[in-house]
Structure 1
Amino acid sequence: MKWNKKLGMMTMALSLSGLLVACGEDDTTNNDTNMNDQMEETMDGNDHSGMDMSGSGDVPEGLKSAENPTFAVGDTAVITEAHMPGMEGAEASIVGAYDTVAYSISYDPMHGGERVKDHKWIIHEEIEGAQDAPYEVGDEVEVNAEHMSGMGGTTATIDSVEETTVYMVDFTLESGEEVTNHKWVTEKELSAP
């Protein structure tokens, strides 16, 4: 009788611990949590855990290739500023170069969660119904890009404005992960190898 009670208690404890583990995790929880912790240390508290590092290679309608970029398509450059951990110092291959206005923005993700501050970068052509003239710091715009989960469709506040050449790049993170068609890196965030 005592053995059955002990066995029953142990079975119940194991079942409950398994249930707690299963309820506390989904297929992305551990990765997102670890990535988020690393990013908070590296990015001064900004949560870039939902950032889609790779892209389709498609560019927004109306975006024009740069006529005389510092780095031409096919060139190699070194990324000098990290939007995400493991990016700084990576050797990048230039996939596209475009003259536009780049904005850093702050917004509340569509799915909830903490406000994302000073996200770099969206470009003028990724603003829904964009006006002809560049926006100014403090303006509110509707974002038509999904660089991070929950970004598309948000109303964002412009934090900074930069008329520049932006680049789409391929590179390899320190972890060995291949990133293709990453949008966007500005000219001042690249240097010659």
Structure 2
Amino acid sequence: MKKNHLIIGLLALLTTMVLAACDGNEESNPNGDANTETESNENMDMNEEGTEPNENTDEKESDSMEGMDHSGMNHSSSGEVPEDLAEAGNPTYSVGSQAIINANHMEGMDGAKATIDGAYNTTVYAVSYTPKNGGEPIKNHKWVIHEELENPGDAPLEPGTEATINASHMEGMDGVTAMIDSAEQTTVYMVSYTDTETGKEVTNHKWVTEAELSPVEG
């Protein structure tokens, strides 16, 4: 009988120790799965925040090119200019000289070395319009000169003025009514260059402003 009592006592003691150990583990991590879930959510938040800069960058790039789809643009021209367009007497970049284009009116232009085909004193406009053959509205198209507008009157036209375009730089442009976005009196250049993206030759391109050109170094 004494042996049985001893065995029962030992079993009770072991059971008490096991229960105490279990209680201790629960107290050391009272939240259990809740902590794991919180850490998981925090990691997800960090990942989402990490993607925001790229998304914002893409959005800014998209905004900067809004309305600037020039896939229908006539990169080259015949070289003909309006009869009343005045040649520049002493342009910064003389006809036959070379300059670097610092403009991204379309792909393959920025950074290209251009040959000056013509230099003219005029007023240039950035314009917005809807192509007459349909398609999305074109915003802030660069450039149309004063002499390419129908009966424009005296230059410069104020931003917000409507005018009819008599030029075909882009498909669906000729004959449309455009809104003047900005105006600048300057020297404009007709240039020829090699497209930096495709390697194709672009001849008598209209137009590049003096501010969009820089000297060829060396």
The TM-score range, normalised by the shorter chain, is: 0.7 to 0.9
Q: CA deviation at 1:81?
A: 1.0
Partner SS, residue 125 of structure 1 = helix
CA distance in 2, matches of 1:48, 1:186: 18
Candidates 182, 190, 193, aligned match of 2:213: 190
Unaligned segments of structure 2, at least 5 residues = 1-60
Q: Which residue of 2 aligns with 1:67?
A: 89
Partner SS, residue 160 of structure 1 = strand
Q: Which residue of 1 aligns with 2:65?
A: 44
1:58-97 pair list within 5 angstroms: 58-97=80-119
Candidates 159, 163, 166, aligned match of 2:185: 163
After TM superposition, the structure 1 stretch with the greater mean CA deviation from structure 2, 131-140 or 112-121, is: 131-140
1:102-141 pair list within 5 angstroms: 102-141=124-163
Q: CA deviation at 1:99?
A: 0.2
Q: CA deviation at 1:44?
A: 1.2
CA distance in 2, matches of 1:42, 1:61: 37
CA distance in 2, matches of 1:103, 1:169: 18
Unaligned segments of structure 1, at least 5 residues = 1-39
CA distance in 1, matches of 2:155, 2:128: 20
CA distance in 1, matches of 2:205, 2:64: 18
Q: Could you tell me whether the CA contact under 8 Å between 1:43 and 1:84 is conserved in 2?
A: no
* Aligned structure 1 segments of 4 or more residues deviating by more than 2 angstroms: 40-43
CA distance in 2, matches of 1:182, 1:42: 26
CA distance in 1, matches of 2:63, 2:143: 17
How big is the alpha-carbon RMSD for the aligned residues of Structure 1 and Structure 2?
Answer: 1.4
Q: Could you tell me whether the CA contact under 8 Å between 2:128 and 2:139 is conserved in 1?
A: yes
Cα separation, partners in 2 of 1:42 and 1:59, compared to 1, 3 Å: farther
Cα separation, partners in 2 of 1:165 and 1:89, compared to 1, 3 Å: same
State the number of aligned residues: 154
Q: CA deviation at 1:50?
A: 0.7
